[in-house]
Amino acid sequence: MQWVTDPMREFDRMRKMMDKMFSRVPFFGTTEFQFPLVNLYDSRDVLYVVAEVPGVPKENIEINYQDGSLTITGKREFKKYGQSELLRQEQPEGDFEKIIRIPMAIKSNEIKAKFEDGMLTVSLPKTEEAKPRQIAVEF
Amino acid sequence: MAEMGKREQVPAGNSSIEQLVSPSNSFSPDVNIYDNREALIFSVDMPGVRKGDVSIEIDENNVLSIKGKLSFKEPEGKSMVKEFDVGNYYRAFSISEEFDKNNISGKLENGVLEIIMPRKEEVKPRRIQINA
């Protein structure tokens, strides 16, 4: 016969299972928005795409632009802390791919990306045609 | 270990982060918690927070509060798509007595804060020799 395990521990294990089932961020793709979360800012000359990529080192991120779509791919890996038990998981984990449709013509050879404190900022300069212009009204 | 209500009042400290970040004006960051027997490890997502702009505090009621002041500035321009809000971070946890409050360490890397909270020496697991 097996010894009865600590009831509190059992209870804790069940709670964790429930947490996992109802977690806000169980897997990629089932959330409202997919990791990484992205904001777009439209200024006169440049379109900015900002993505939150906490815990992803620079070398694990790849950015591509093709046919009017910007794709951010990468991988987020958790650190290992020896023989540790994960008591709570809210951070997303694993491979990710985010495709952002760019709604205007941009100079694809002038795209720049900056990575700082887990924030990725991609600047996409607009072509002259895509920039807003003032139209003189004739009477 | 229970999570505290997000609206819990926090005593104001001296540093500017303490004063600037309060539960009512900040966002709740995603947290992973690990237990490796030696210590509890908190991993807290704080994208946009620079080194030195984080405060980790544990008060006399064993409440661990974690605050991060955002230094990231949104680019100029009209917001076209908004999947995340920009602001400071706040999260608090109630910690059991078995942890050593005086030896908590923190490290910020790639927008993730790692807090290591060791167990007190007397409660750490140890192997007992059995003498036949």
Q: The pTM is what?
A: 0.77
pLDDT tens-place string over residues B74-86: 999 999 999 998 9
Over range A102-128, report the average pLDDT: 95
Q: CB burial class (10 A; 0-12, 13-18, 19+) of residue A55?
A: buried
Contacts of A90 in chain B (CB under 8 A): 30-32
Q: Is the ipTM of this complex over 0.85?
A: no
The full set of domain ranges for chain A reads: 7-79+86-130
Secondary structure tally for chain A: helices H, strands E = 1, 8
Is residue A3 over pLDDT 50? no
Domains, chain B, in order of start with CATH, read 2-74+84-121 (2.60.40.790)
Residue range A7-79+86-130 forms a domain whose CATH class is mainly beta
B49 touches A at CB < 8 Å: yes
pLDDT of residue B125: 74
Question: Is B47 in the A-facing interface, judged by CB distances under 8 Å?
Answer: yes
With a cut of 70, say whether residue A60 has pLDDT above it.
yes
What CA–CA distance (Å, rounded) separates B127 from B1?
26
Inter-chain residue contact A117 with B36, CB threshold 8 Å = no
**Site from A19, A23, A33, A52 to mutate, B interface, most B CB atoms within 10 angstroms:** A52
